[in-house]
A and B are shown apart, each in its own frame.
Chain A
Amino acid sequence: MAHVADESPKLFGIVAEFDDPDVLIEAATKTRVAGYRKFDAYSPMPVHGLAEAMHFEDVRIPWMAFFGGITGCCLGLGFQTWIALIDYPMNVGGKPLFTWPQFIPITFEATVLVTGLTTFVSQFALNGLPKPYNPMFNAKNFDRASQDRFFLCIETRDPKFDEASVTEFLQGLGALDVSEVPA
C-alpha cells in the first residue's frame, strides 16, 4: 500500500487517512498507548477529545492573554495618569487632577486591545505560522485534510520510528489508506 512519491530517501513520516473523527480519536489514543510520541493528527475542524487523546496540553496562550491584559490595563491607566498629573496638568475649576473614574473607559479599551493583539500574535507564534512550506502538504490526498478527511502522521523524528512496523501499525487502525510522506 505504501507508495514512494519521491526518489529521495528523506522521509517525513508515515500518514494514515480516515473518514471519521471518532475513528481518528481512537487511532490517536492507540498511537499514544503504543508508545509513539512524535505524531500529529490533522482534521478539517476542531475535533474535541483529540488533544486529550494525544495527551497534548498547552496553557501558554491563556497566560499570555492574561499578562497582555495586565500590560494593557497598566499602560492605559498609567498613561492617562501621567498626562493628567505630570505632563499636562490642567486645573478644571479646582477639581482634583487624578479623576480616575473618567480614566476607566480608555483603560478598559487598552486592556482589551492589548489582550486581543497578544492572543492573536501568540496563536500564530506558538503554532509556527505562517509557514508556507510544510512537508505534510506532500502527503497523499492531503488537500482533503481541510475538507472531509482526517489524517494521523507518525513522524520519523519519533525514537520508536521504524518504517515497516509503523506502516503495519497504522494499517491496523482502520485507516482507508496508509502512505509515506516525503520530507
Chain B
Amino acid sequence: MAINSIDSSKRTRLVPQNFIDGEHSYTTISEILAGVVLNPKPPTVWFVATGLGFCVLNVMLLAVTYLVLTGTGVWGNNQPTAWAWDIVNFVWWIGIGHAGTLISAILLLMRQSWRNSINRFAEAMTIFAVMCAGLYPLLHTGRPWLDYWLFPYANTLGMWPQTRSPLEWDVFAVSTYFTISLLFWFLGLIPDIATLRDRSQHPLVKGIYGLASMGWIGSAKHWFRYEQAYNILAGISAPLVLSVHTIVSFDFAVGIVPGWHTTIFPPYFVAGAVFAGFAMVLTFGLPLRSVYPQIKDFITEKHLDWMAKILLATGLIVFYGYILEMFYGWYSGNTYELALVYNRLFGPYKWFYYALIFCNGIFPQLCWVPQLRRNVPFLFVLSIIVGIGMWLERFVIIPMSLTRDFLTSSWGYYAPTEWDWALFIGTMGFFVFLLFMFIKVLPIINIFEMRDLLMKNHHQFGHGHDGHENSEEAH
C-alpha cells in the first residue's frame, strides 16, 4: 500500500493556535502591558523581591571586595582543582542566559509566534545572567584590575593574547555574545519605549522614555528597515548562541583530562544550556504570572505546556549525553577513562552524580504527562530541580575529573569555602534585583509583537472574538 494512502485524519496536523486568551484589542494590550510599568503602586511582592535581591546583592559586593583585597586563595580552589566553583558557576549562568537567545532568535526565525510573549524577559535574563557569568572568570584572574590584558591591544610588552587557546576564544565569544544580546534587546525595546513615552503622564518620566525611544514614530518605512535589522540580528544570534556554548565546552574538550576529552561535549553543552535556560524562564515566569495576574492572557497555559515540552526534549538530549559519556568511557578501553566512569558511580562525589541523574534524567520524564505540563506548582518544582541538576552537571564534570586524574599522587578533594558560597548566592541576588528593577522600568512582554500576534489572530480566526467593528474587511 502506498504511503500517501494512510488515512490523513489520523495524522497529527499542525493547527494554528491562538496564543492570546480572553478578549483583547490593540488598546487593551497596550493598557495592560504598559500598565505593569507605569502603575505608580507596584504590588507588595515587588518590594519584597527587590528588597531581598538588594540585600543578597550586597553579599556579592562583600564577597567581591574581600576577594579583591585578599586574593583568590579565599576560594576553595587549590591544586589539583585550580578551577572549581568559578568555572562551575560561570558555565551555569551562561547556560541560563542561552534560553533568552534561543527564544528570541531561533524561535523567531522558525516563526513560532508563541515566543512573542516570553522573549522579552527571557532576553533580559540573558543579559543579567551573562553579567553574573562574566564576573567569575574576571575575578578568577586574581588581579581583575588587569583584565584588559585579555583583549588584544598594542602594549609596551609587545605581546599578544594566545588566540589558539579556548580560554581566549571564550573572551571573544562571551564579550560578543553580551554585546549582540544587548543590541538585540535594545532594538526590540525601542517601539515599546515609544509606547511608554506616549502613555506616561509625568513630564520627567515622559522625557526619559522620550530620550530612550530615540524619537521612534512607527513610520512604515522605519518599520521596514527595523524588521530587516531585527531579522538579521536574529539570524546572526542563532549561530552565535550555539558557538558560545560550544566554545565554553571547548575549554574542557580541548584538554586531555579524563571525562573532558570527548566530542559529545559541544552539542550536549548547548542542549544543557537550553534546558537550564528554559527552566529559569519557568522559575521566573511562573511567579511573574501570579504577581501580575493580568498577563495570564498572554503567557497562557499553552505557553507553559510548550515550554515543558522543550524542557523534556532538551532534557532527553542531555540524558543521552550522560549515557554516551559512560559509553565512551567503556568503549575507549582507556584505563583513565574507565576509572572516571568508576569514580562517577562509586567515587567520593558519587551522590552528586546520582542526584544529577535524578534531577536531569529521571524527574523531567514526568513531563510526558499532559496534565502535569499545565500544572503550575509542578512546573515550578521541576524548574528548580532542573536548575539544581544543571549546576550538579557542571560540578560533576569539573572537580570530579580534576581530583581523580592520571597520578594517584595528584589526587585530592575539593570543598568550597564560605566565600565561594557568598559569591554564588550573591550573584543570585544580583540577578533577582536586576530582573525586578527591569520589571518596573521596561515592559516584561513585548507589546508591539503582541499587537502583531493579535493582528495575525484576526486574519486567522476573524475579528469576532474582540468585538471589533471593521469585521467586514477583506483579508
List chain A positions with a Cβ less than 8 A from chain B. 19-23, 28, 40-47, 50-51, 54, 56, 58, 61-62, 65, 69, 79-80, 83-84, 87-88, 99, 102-103, 105-106, 108-110, 112-113, 115-117, 119-120, 122-124, 126-127, 129-134, 136-137, 142-148
Contact = CB atoms under 8 A, between A and B. Distances in A.
Interface stretch (B155-163, B280-288, B414-422): B155-163
A47 B26 contact: no
B187 A123 contact: yes
Interface in B190-219: 191, 194-195, 197-199, 210-211, 214-219
B225 interface: yes
Given A20-B473, A45-B191, A146-B191, A40 B229 contact: no
8 contacts: A22-B470, A22-B473, A23-B470, A23-B473, A112-B243, A116-B176, A134-B217, A146-B195
B291 interface: no
B198 A132 contact: no
Contacts of B215: 129-134
Contacts of A143: 198-199
A40 B224 CA distance: 12
B455 A47 contact: yes
A129 B229 contact: no
Contacts of A112: 176, 180, 236, 239-240, 243
Nearest to A60: B225
A110 B473 CA distance: 48
Given A61-B228, A127-B222, 5 more contacts: A45-B191, A102-B164, A112-B236, A116-B176, A146-B218
Given A54-B220, A123-B187, A113 B449 contact: no
A58 B227 CA distance: 12
A106 to B, nearest CB: 5
Contacts of B163: 80, 83-84, 102-103, 106
A131 B172 CA distance: 33
B448 interface: yes
Chain B, interface residues (CB within 8 Å), range: 35 or more
B235 to A, nearest CB: 9
Contact of B211 (A28, A62, A126, A132): A132
B32 to A, nearest CB: 12
Contacts of A146: 30, 191, 194-195, 197-198, 216, 218
Contact of B26 (A58, A61, A148): A148
A62 B227 CA distance: 11
A116 B233 contact: yes
Contacts of B222: 127, 129
Interface string B338-369: 00000000000000000000000000000000
Given A123-B187, A147-B26, A130 B169 contact: no
Contact of B220 (A19, A56, A80): A56
Binding site of A, secondary structure by majority: helix, strand, loop or mixed? helix
A137 B214 CA distance: 13
Contacts of B168: 106
A122 B195 contact: no
A147 B228 contact: no
A65 B197 contact: no
Residue of B159, B236, B247 contacting most chain A CB atoms (<10 Å): B236
Interface of B: 25-27, 30, 152, 158-160, 163-164, 166, 168-169, 172-173, 176, 179-180, 183-184, 187, 191, 194-195, 197-199, 210-211, 214-229, 232-233, 236-237, 239-240, 243, 247, 250, 448-449, 451-452, 455, 468, 470, 473-475
Nearest to B174: A109
Contacts of B27: 147-148
Residue of A120, A122, A133, A136 contacting most chain B CB atoms (<10 Å): A120
A150 B176 CA distance: 38
Contacts of B448: 44-46
Contacts of B232: 61-62, 65, 115, 119
B451 A42 contact: no
A47 B449 contact: no
Smallest CB-CB A-B distances: 8 pairs: A148-B26, A123-B229, A130-B214, A143-B198, A131-B215, A147-B30, A45-B451, A41-B220
B220 A109 contact: no
Contacts of A88: 158-160
A166 B183 CA distance: 40
A65 B452 CA distance: 26
A136 B215 CA distance: 11
Contacts of A99: 164
A130 B448 CA distance: 19
Contacts of A144: 198
Nearest to A115: B236
Contacts of A108: 239, 243
Contacts of B221: 40, 51, 54, 56, 58, 127
A108 B194 CA distance: 34
A24 to B, nearest CB: 9
Contact of A105 (B159, B173, B194, B211): B173
Nearest to B179: A113
B176 A44 contact: no
A79 B237 CA distance: 23
B225 A44 contact: no
Contacts of B451: 44-45, 148
A124 B455 contact: no
Contacts of A106: 163, 168-169, 172
A123 B214 contact: no
Residue of A84, A105, A126 contacting most chain B CB atoms (<10 Å): A105
Contacts of A65: 232
Contacts of B180: 112-113, 116
A43 B452 CA distance: 11
Residue of A21, A44, A99, A137 contacting most chain B CB atoms (<10 Å): A44
